[in-house]
Amino acid sequence: MSAVELASIVTRNSGNIAFVVGNGINHYFGNSAQSWLNLLQLLWDRYSFHTASSVPNGISYPEFFDALELQQKNKPGQSTELQKVTATEISKWTAGEDQNVFISGIKALNAPILTTNLETLMSKTMKLELRIIKPSKFTDYYPWSSYYSDRELTNPNDGFGIWHVNGMVNYPRSLKLGLSDYMGNVHRAREMIMESGGRKQIIRPNWEGNKNWLNIFFNRSLIFIGLGLDEQELFLRWLLIQRQKYFRHHPERKKSGWYISRAGKNGMSEGKKMFLHWAGIELIEIDNYKDAYENLWNVT
C-alpha cells in the first residue's frame, strides 16, 4: 500500500481515529539502541546471579523480567527498586525533533495516541504537559487517566493527547515490566469492563473507563504502527478480544482497525495473521516505513 492509499484511510476516518504506537518510532527515527530488549539485558547484567548474553528463545520479554525478579526474593522491596531503576534508565533516553512530523500530523487530526512506550520522548519533543482527567479514584499503579497534551480534555475522546498503556516514568510503580504486571493490567481493566461476576460487559456512557484511555480503545478506529503486537503483548491482545466481543453485542458501534507492517520476503506468521483477522484488524503492508511515519503527512 502506498502513502496515498494509507492517507485515504486516515482521511476517511479522521473524525474517529486513534493511533496505537510502539517503540518502532524510536527505531525509525534513529534511536535503535533505546529498546526494551537492551534495557532488559542491562537489568539482567546488573541484578542477575546468572549469565545470559541475550533473551533466549521460548521466553517472552515479560517472563524474562519475572525470571530476574524471582532472583530477588530475599530482598524486600526489590520489585519497586527494579521499577525505579528502569524509570531512571529510560529517563536517559533522548530523541530528536525529526519524529515531530509524525506526531504533529496526528495532532493536526486532533486524534489521540495510545502508546505502549514507557518513556515520554514523544511528549518531550512536542513540549506537551502532563495532565489528568480526574477519576473517581487515582492510583500511581494505574495512572490511566493521565495524559500529555497541549490542551485540557474533559473526556479522552475529545481530542489530541498521548496516553501510556503500560505506565510512564513519572510514576515508576506504574511501569508494567513482567508478566505478573501485565496480568495486573488485565485485572484492572476487567473490573471496569465487566459487571460483577464477569459475565457481561458494562461499557456505556458513564462506565468507569470513560475517564481513561480505555474509552479511546473501545470507541475509536485504531491504527497500529511500530508495535509488534505479538504473543508477548498479552494485555493488548486481550483488550482486542474484549473489543470484538463488545462490537458483537453492539454492531451499530463497531469501529475499524488496521495494523501497519512492512512487506518482506519472510512475511508475517500465519498465527499472527489469524489473530489480527479475528480481532477485527486489517493488515496493511507497506514497502517502506517512511510512507507511514513521514510521507503520509505530506499527502493528507
pLDDT in tens, 158-206: 999 999 999 999 898 898 988 888 999 999 999 888 876 556 666 776 7
Does residue 21 have a pLDDT over 90? yes
Q: Quick one: pLDDT at residue 180?
A: 87
Q: Residue 36 — pLDDT band, cuts 50, 70, 90?
A: confident
205 vs 155: which has the higher pLDDT: 155
Phi, psi of 264 (to 5 degrees): -155, 165
Compute the average pLDDT of residues 21-38: 80
pLDDT digits (tens, 9 = 90+) for 239-286: 999 999 999 988 999 999 999 988 875 678 888 889 999 999 999 998
Q: Quick one: pLDDT at residue 54?
A: 73
Let me know: does 22 contact 116? Beta carbons within 8 Å.
Answer: yes
Q: Show me where the domains of the chain are located.
A: 3-30+96-299
pLDDT digits (tens, 9 = 90+) for 101-150: 999 999 999 999 999 999 999 999 999 999 999 866 778 899 999 999 99
